[in-house]
Amino acid sequence: MDPSRPRRRGSLFEDFALRKRVRTSDRRGNRQAVKRETVLIIEDEEDILEVMTYNLVKNGYRVLAASDGEEGLKRAKTEVPDALLLDLMLPGVGGLDVCRALKQDPRTQTIPILMVTARAEEADIVVGLELGADDYITKPFSPRVLVARLRAVLRRHSQPPESPGATVRVHDLVIHPGRREVTLGGRPIPLTFTEFSLLHLLARKPGWVFTRGQIVDAIRGEDYPVTDRSVDVHVTGLRRKLGAGAQWIETVRGVGYRLKE
């Protein structure tokens, strides 16, 4: 047997692909045609690209790759992948510009984007999220976390958006938007108008990171003016009222807030 690395890797990928197919057979054993999801990776660091590709293929994804922003944009527009892993620090056209361009194009604006960033790029993460990127992961990351985050982003995109009036149940919280009531373990929690709006926003999308700017935009236009800084004050108030449930509202340092998934 040829001991070369690509060959060994190739057979490993085939094994995984086979197992996936077996799992998706129906009761009579007929194989169902399951479309593999395609992920485009835009990353200029070869080592990272290789690790990402290996782990994504192992998990059943079809992978396309581009090593700079220009090529990445071109591939995204021609291939329209199911998701995009986007490095922000790219030579030439940067990741944020790629994100902006894709979100402005009707053909590509719904492609979920998971940004891949260095820890020091907090300001860029905020900009990216506000441009419409779905989530981010900081380098160095574990392959397991990468795949979990990608899966979460794809899952959220495949779910139909919940109607804003629907009752939200998450952890021990039940949120009734119509009545603007919240109960925790069956016990009513009195919230201010803004605290309620904030909790409802986060709870409708557990796991999503909201920047302060996005929070302000979402709850603006109601009775009380909300600014970037006052978001923190409202979060503090909300946490105090939630007591033991305060831990569900996570601070994403330098970026914003999210409700624990």
Positions touching Ca ion (CB under 5 A) are: 44, 87, 89
Total residue length of the chain:
261
Q: Which helix (H) or strand (E) holds 259?
A: strand 256-259
Residue number with CB closer to Ca ion (96 or 242): 96
Closest CA to 147 of 16, 41, 47, 55: 55
Other Cβ atoms less than 10 A from the Cβ of 122: the count is 16
What is the nearest approach in angstroms of Ca ion to the Cβ of residue 150?
Answer: 18
Q: Is the Cβ–Cβ distance between 38 and 66 less than 8 Å? A: no
What is the nearest approach in angstroms of Ca ion to the Cβ of residue 153?
Answer: 20
What is the nearest approach in angstroms of Ca ion to the Cβ of residue 233?
Answer: 37
What is the nearest approach in angstroms of Ca ion to the Cβ of residue 140?
Answer: 13
Residue number with CB closer to Ca ion (40 or 215): 40
Residue number with CB closer to Ca ion (17 or 89): 89
Cα–Cα distance, 260 to 245 (Å, whole number): 10
Specify the pairing of strand 210-211 against strand 113-118: unpaired
Residue number with CB closer to Ca ion (89 or 174): 89
117 contacts: CB under 8 Å, gap ≥ 6: 87, 88, 89, 124, 125, 128, 136, 137, 138, 139
Specify the pairing of strand 168-170 against strand 173-176: antiparallel
Residue number with CB closer to Ca ion (113 or 191): 113
What is the nearest approach in angstroms of Ca ion to the Cβ of residue 24?
Answer: 36
What is the nearest approach in angstroms of Ca ion to the Cβ of residue 118?
Answer: 8
Residue number with CB closer to Ca ion (44 or 130): 44
Question: ω into residue 140 within 30 of 0, thus cis?
Answer: yes
Q: Among all residues, whose Cβ is closest to Ca ion?
A: 89
